Chains A and B, each alone.
Chain A
Amino acid sequence: MSRSHDLALPEGTTGLIRNLINERTGMFFDNGKSDLLIDKLSPLVIERGFTSYLDYYYLLKYDTAAKGEWQDVMNALSVQETYFWREIDQIKALVQTLLPQWHTRNRDSTVRIWSAACASGEEPLTIAMALNEAGWFERVPIEIHASDASSKALARAEAGVYRERAFRNLPAPLRDRYFERHGSDWRVNNNLHSRIKWGMANLIDEGQVAPLASADFIFCRNVFIYFSESAIGRVVRSFSRYIRPPGYLFVGAAESLLRMTTDFDLSEIDDAFVYVKRERAA
């Protein structure tokens, strides 16, 4: 079922590619998923005119002129299938409990929220919708930043056009309030879309993480499931360094940081799990 049966895959090459991708992107494809990795890369190998994955590995590893190729790799490997109103309990906890608490302590400040792996934009737009529904934009200055490592995903987020499938969880009245139908697609209205600042960031690159992670709330959901444990540790440590105290980190329901040593404690707020940065002893 491989898409790549014309391409040579010398023994040991899969491991080399897998480890290099883990080192540079954090994404980890274990033995059971290495075929998937090879399949996903095959269009790039073909596009480059190579006939062997080993040549492509050397390109990624050694060719300093091929930096742009990494963006293609991120685009090929990123998972962009998501939808509005996904795992909404955490966003409700933000809007109904955490933000009011934050506002009491920081009357004149701007709250900053970062959606760290925004894919095609459904998550930050969901956050913006929930905040707007609760009237927060009128009460508090709010910055929402959204980033992804894939330029392709980000281009879709910036275009703001979605297929029906992205709405499978969103109540119809909200869809009708914030989106306009264009043929078989829906386009998000500009008022909502313009509340979000879009940008690219590779989570494994601390230089790119630092300016964005200086936020009050970080959403990094459904991305660690693709990362190796060491890469997760590295990313969470960089969040911890820059997040503004008290610092709330939201990860996906299928992800847990409990088996790792981090600076965050798990807390249950309303019906949602949230990681809160541990206060340092004075």
Chain B
Amino acid sequence: MTRIGVFTTDSHLVIQVWDVALAQLTGITEENALGQGVTALLPDLEQRGLLKRFQRSLNEGVVEVLAPAFHHYLIPCAPVTSTKHFDKMQQRVTIAPLRDDDSIAGLIVTVEDVTDRHERERELATPMLEALSDEDWRVRREAVQEISQRAAPEAIAALLNSVVENHHNPSLLNSALQVLAAASELDTFLPLVELLHGPNPDLRMQAALALGEQRDTRAVEVLVKALNDDDANVRYHVIEALGKLKAVEAVDALAEIAESRDFFLSFVALDALAKIGDPRIAPRIVPLLDDELLCEPAINLLGQIGDEGVVAPLTALLNTPTAPTDAIAGALATLSDRYEQQYGEARYIGDLTSREISPSGVQNLLDALEAPGKENLRSIALVLGWLKSPVVARALTRLMGRVDLRDEIIEALARHGSTTVELLTSQLTAEDLEVRRSAVVALGRIGDPSAAPAVVNILSDESLVIDAANALAQMGDPSAVDGLLNLIGSDDASIRQAAVSALNSLIPPSMFGRIIPLLHDSDPNVRESAVKIAGYFGYPEAASALVELSRDLNERVRCAAIEHLPYVEDERALDVLVHAIKAEAPNVRAAAARALGTMDAPEVVQPLIEGLSDDDAWVRYFSARALGRRRSPGAVEALGRVIENEKFNHIRIAALDSLGQIGGERIAGIVARLVRDDDPNVAHAAQLALGKSGQGG
């Protein structure tokens, strides 16, 4: 018999799925469970403190585990087999959010019957305690591992008593603290606080460490008080623990320790403040920049927690002759990355830096950039990129061959804008391919049309043609059209694609006269590219040609015509596509399936459902995807059959995705059991589909 059952809820904790295994384990039938609120079905949920675990998973998206050693069960019911120690089935319960794209649509809860396992653990608990005091460290280690994994509550309780009473036994103490640190599901808080207030400094130190490891925020208050402990080693570990707990309440006390400039404690206090990450404390850290020993950790901390207010003091330090340039550049880069992530405003930090920096600060950065043997120059290149000067641009140009720095160098040069166009254009003929590549990409980023003729010239360079086409697209200079049209017949599909993309952004819609004749070119590559351009612009003048090209001798041309027909909005398109998905070669049938998915007509659904039974796997795959785009409830049954019978998992995944898109009450029942599929991709798709299923239909 299956030992794991599953149920799901919607966002109001109303039960949506109650599977067969769960019905068998608990004796509660699907009929009695479905549509009930969790609290109606399990009335003592709130009283036992479990409702908040459900709510936390729902509100914060976290996975909650109810450990049997502590909670024993979620759904009260008799054990399946007889036991000596338990009158109720012992259950391990996992509560996980069901996610829609960006929200939580409900919960999925697994209930595992672990009664037998715990029965055996009870028998083992007593000898393990004895093993913890064994003289042989290997025996102790094994015992620690055993108890940590099993966490039988009786064993832990006995262990804590032993620690308090026998702290002079170092073997037992160390082993016990390891267990405490690992057994996060048990309430070890009060015993540890007792140890923290005890007379033995070693024990206090270990207790502080364990309280930090437990990640229990109740510990913050007692740890803050322990910052006044008489023993410096205890204080050190208390500071560390507060950092691990991210104790915002402790930042003032920690800042005071940092300000004391006692290296032993200030250093660890700065580290803890970095972990806590409270930006309010930054101004108090700034004065430490003039402390020789604490300067670097202070710089790093300011990079991590500071706001725009720390740019000036950091840059002032960078302007001094002995500035720790790497650390300051690293902090400014961290700060700008954070501003970019939070506000999309990396540029603001760049502007402030560039306003504050002096020529000697720039020189420090240039010297660091040229220093030999440096591996990580990203931060320095990034900061230099904020500074617009010809000297900086030339220095950056010298690094253009560095593949590892390419993004930063290109970004930096692009920020210089049109002033560097001449310098970059001169690099288009450099001997090093990577230098030429960086130059063409940077020119594209700058987008100055005056560089277009030089970039058109390198369209003949096989290694750079795609980057050049992309760059021309960004420059928007129609004079590049002829050069790009020369590429649409290339034998390389990537080059054709790059040229078509560039042309799509360069050609004025009025230039359709240049494209229509190419639909009849003798070269199939040219016809295929011309179809893609005509389809992109939706030229009505191209409709007849596209219908005709859907019967082209060349398969790729037929695929392109089929895929682009929906965009020219011609009434013949539907018939052509329906015919193609039934009668064409496999690749063209797959293209027809994709194209049908983009059409609104209700007549597309039936051919797509038939496509689910095609001989070719990729026709089935794209038919399944297309039905999702159509969101047709009439396809649910057929997609359900795909999930049951299809041998290829990617097609089952496509069907699951589509069922999620279609939504509705029926979906949950079809996909629920797949959340435990052996293939994680299938299980993930099933979870997504379940998450969405409550919202559609």
Contacts and interface: CB of A to CB of B under 8 A. Distances in A.
A5 B471 CA distance: 12
A151 interface: no
A108 interface: no
Nearest to A12: B684
A3 B467 CA distance: 7
B492 interface: yes
Nearest to A47: B493
Q: Chain B interface residue count: which class?
A: 20 to 34
A213 B202 CA distance: 56
Contact of A1 (B410, B493, B590, B621): B410
B499 to A, nearest CB: 12
A102 to B, nearest CB: 38
A186 to B, nearest CB: 19
A49 B591 contact: yes
A28 to B, nearest CB: 16
Contact of B498 (A3, A16, A49, A59): A3
Interface in B579-635: 587, 590-591, 594, 617-618, 621
Nearest to A55: B621
Contacts of A46: 493-494, 497
Interface in B494-514: 494, 497-498, 501
Contacts of B492: 43
Contacts of A61: 650, 681
Nearest to A6: B501
A32 B406 CA distance: 11
B621 A43 contact: no
Contacts of A43: 492-494
A137 interface: no
Contacts of A3: 466-467, 470, 494, 498
Interface string A31-75: 010000000001100110101000100110111010000000000
Q: Chain A interface residue count: which class?
A: 10 to 19
Interface of A is mostly: helix
Given A49-B591, A62-B650, A1 B497 contact: no
A220 B559 CA distance: 44
A49 B650 contact: no
B650 A5 contact: no
Contacts of A47: 493-494
Contact of B648 (A32, A42, A49, A62): A62
B441 interface: yes
B526 to A, nearest CB: 17
B653 interface: yes
B497 A6 contact: yes
B320 interface: no
Contact of B650 (A1, A32, A58): A58
Contacts of B441: 1
Closest A-B pairs by Cβ, 3 of them: A58-B650, A43-B494, A1-B441
28 contacts: A1-B407, A1-B441, A3-B494, A3-B498, A5-B470, A5-B501, A6-B497, A6-B501, A43-B493, A43-B494, A46-B493, A46-B494, A46-B497, A47-B493, A47-B494, A49-B556, A49-B587, A49-B590, A51-B594, A55-B621, A58-B650, A58-B653, A62-B648, A62-B649, A62-B650, A63-B617, A63-B618, A63-B650
Given A32-B404, A47-B493, 18 more contacts: A1-B444, A1-B445, A3-B498, A5-B501, A42-B494, A43-B492, A46-B494, A46-B497, A47-B494, A49-B556, A49-B559, A55-B621, A58-B650, A59-B650, A61-B681, A63-B617, A63-B648, A63-B650
Interface of B: 404, 406-407, 410, 441, 444-445, 466-467, 470, 492-494, 497-498, 501, 556, 559, 587, 590-591, 594, 617-618, 621, 648-650, 653, 681
